[in-house]
Amino acid sequence: MKNFYQEKIKWGVTYSQIYARELGLDWQQAYLDILDDLQVKNLRLIVYWPLVESKVGEFDFTDVDWQIAEAQKRGVNVILAIGERVPRWPECHTPAWAINLPAEAKEDRVVILYEETVKHFQIYSNITAWQVANEPFLKSFGKCNEITSEQLANYIKIIKTYDQRKRPVILTESGELSTWIKSAKLADIIGTSLYRTVWNQYFGYWRYPWPPAYYRWHADLIMKFYPVEKVIISELQAEPWPPGKHILQTTLEDQFKSFDLKRLQDNISYTKKTGFDEVYLWGVEWWYWLKEKQNHPEFWLEAKKVFNSRIF
């Protein structure tokens, strides 16, 4: 079997302002600690539609501006995820005023969201790529309406039109439940999730049996037949998958049953064997919540070891 082992990895995290708030955290202090204590140098940040356009036609990007500016001060690279369907449950994040709009009228507003977002943020030099939606072809997860290839192509066209720096566009896919082909026809870069332990109502906890090489072979096959520049791991599991509940409704015992410190260590080791050189861990808000609210700093401390070994 071919050895894909990769030691030199650009490690990063996804940070969600909304999720940090849900966990009762000071989202700004948590963010600064991610930058200054963990010393993360690669981030995936999220533009949440309800936060930036709480009233129709009135855009306020203050919170995201602050996040990107603080990252820029420290030389931190940013992937910026935009759209209605973006990371964190329920996947689709829609302002109250837009929820009941007719489909065509709502799509018109999503288009405006893309236009205004890219025009505003394209001035930041530390944005390295744009992410369009989040796993838009994964119908089995999230409370969302379907996004078509035609809609995604239009969003990408908007980005290419307004971004003067012509940065690449990322589409994300499930690493376990998708062929990636639809995204490969549209995106410059594919971001794949990598989950090893999940839960569903039929089987309970389930551990995927795929070897690390499965993900590398999948990426190589896609890049052979489609004009994709690169495949990255955009979402590496580094937090529990609760049994159909929010994390705050789940005991620590059940959380650690799904994901304990050994599984974090195992996932890091496993990922190095996939051969990918850019990886974004999923769960930094949970590590911080454990440290600040639950007297469990061990996940945070383990993550510090990862970021101390990174390359930029």
Q: What is the pLDDT of residues 146-193, one digit of tens each?
A: 999 999 999 999 999 999 999 999 999 999 989 999 999 999 999 999
Q: At 159, which helix (H) or strand (E)?
A: helix 149-162
Tokens of 3: 């050895």
Tokens of 160: 């290419």
According to the model, what pLDDT value does residue 202 have?
62
Q: What is the DSSP letter of 78?
A: E
Residue 7 has pLDDT above 80, yes or no: no
Q: What is the pTM of this model?
A: 0.95
* Higher-scoring residue by pLDDT: 311, 27: 27
Helix 62-73 and helix 27-36, axial crossing angle in degrees, nearest 10: 20
**What digits encode the pLDDT tens for the residues 209-226?**
889 999 999 999 999 999
Q: What angle do CA 171, 113, 284 make, to 5 degrees?
A: 55
Residue 54 has pLDDT above 60, yes or no: yes
Domains of the chain (ranges, CATH numbers): 10-308 (3.20.20.80)
Q: How confident is the model at residue 201 (pLDDT cuts 50, 70, 90)?
A: low
- Of the chain, the percentage scoring pLDDT greater than 70 comes to 96
Dihedral sign for Cα 6, 10, 11, 17, please.
negative
Tokens of 119: 């025009």
* Higher-scoring residue by pLDDT: 205, 34: 34
- Residue 8 corresponds to which amino acid? K
According to the model, what pLDDT value does residue 1 have?
45
* Surface-to-core class of residue 170, CB atoms within 10 Å of its CB (0-12 exposed, 13-18 middle, 19+ buried): buried
According to the model, what pLDDT value does residue 243 have?
77
Q: At 142, which helix (H) or strand (E)?
A: none
The Cα 186–Cα 268 span in angstroms is: 30
* Surface-to-core class of residue 277, CB atoms within 10 Å of its CB (0-12 exposed, 13-18 middle, 19+ buried): middle
According to the model, what pLDDT value does residue 3 have?
63
* Surface-to-core class of residue 215, CB atoms within 10 Å of its CB (0-12 exposed, 13-18 middle, 19+ buried): buried
Residue 292 has pLDDT above 50, yes or no: yes
The whole-number average pLDDT for the span 131-141 is: 92
Segment among 14-23, 138-147, 156-165 with least mean pLDDT: 138-147
Tokens of 310: 């990174």
Q: Using omega within 30 degrees of 0 as the cis cutoff, is the peptide bond preceding 242 cis?
A: no
At residue 192, what are phi and psi to the nearest 5 degrees?
-110, 145
